[in-house]
Structure 1
Amino acid sequence: MPTVLIVDDALFMRVAVGNMFKEWGFEVVGEASNGREAVEFYNQFKPDLVTMDITMPVMSGLDAVKEIIPMHPDANIIMMTALGQQRIIVEAIEAGAKDFITKPFEKNQLKTVVDNILGYDD
């Protein structure tokens, strides 16, 4: 069973995204509400996939990517962004994030990104 770490400071987003992944057969190994927790949980669980919000308290998603990727270059991180954060997305991709999705998004949009990163075909 593939594993996912969900990182977002909004509880409703963690629950919504977590439910999508459970429906797709993933195990949600952790939920983090800021980038510092994301780094700690990544090191602890080494999930197959991470969904990472950009704007969070304590440490941003971008800063978390910059900490995770040097230690785990094969980490599969999907950035979750609000409209208007294109500059940060470019920086996150350059830092090693695999892809991004803009909120709000449809479930099938996220599934396509996940399948592309993990190499799944429907």
Structure 2
Amino acid sequence: WKLNELVLETKLSFSNSKEILSSMTNVEKVRVVKSKPEGKFISAELNKELVLHLNIEADSDLKNKWELAELTRLIQSERKQKGFNPNEVVKLNFDCSDKKFLSKFKSEIEESTNTKLVEAKGEMKKLLEREFYFEF
């Protein structure tokens, strides 16, 4: 799952490296600083000139992205197991314990899983912070 940021603490110039690191790591942003950042970080000193700090704080937006990614992965896995044609839009009976999450991400779920969500009731299972029911 993606984390908020990677911070490079160094006195050296890393302006070109930020884009490379951003593409190679699973973080929202990369920044370069001259002193240790404030916050909840895991740090690793690579040498005397470079310390990496990985921000491990997760706000609600990041947690929503994690939940959405995990839900999408599960739906895609189930879809594959059922043998559906990847180009075919299929009906997915669906429910979520958090109606705000559902309304915010419904179209994204449908697009990324090639499904049409239909409100239904069934046995809810906890994913990360919410409970979901889905069945093809």
Q: One fold, TM greater than 0.5? A: no
TM score, norm. by length of structure 2: 0.26
Q: Which structure is higher in strand share?
A: 2
* TM-score when normalising by structure 1: 0.28
Is the radius of gyration larger for structure 1 or structure 2? 2
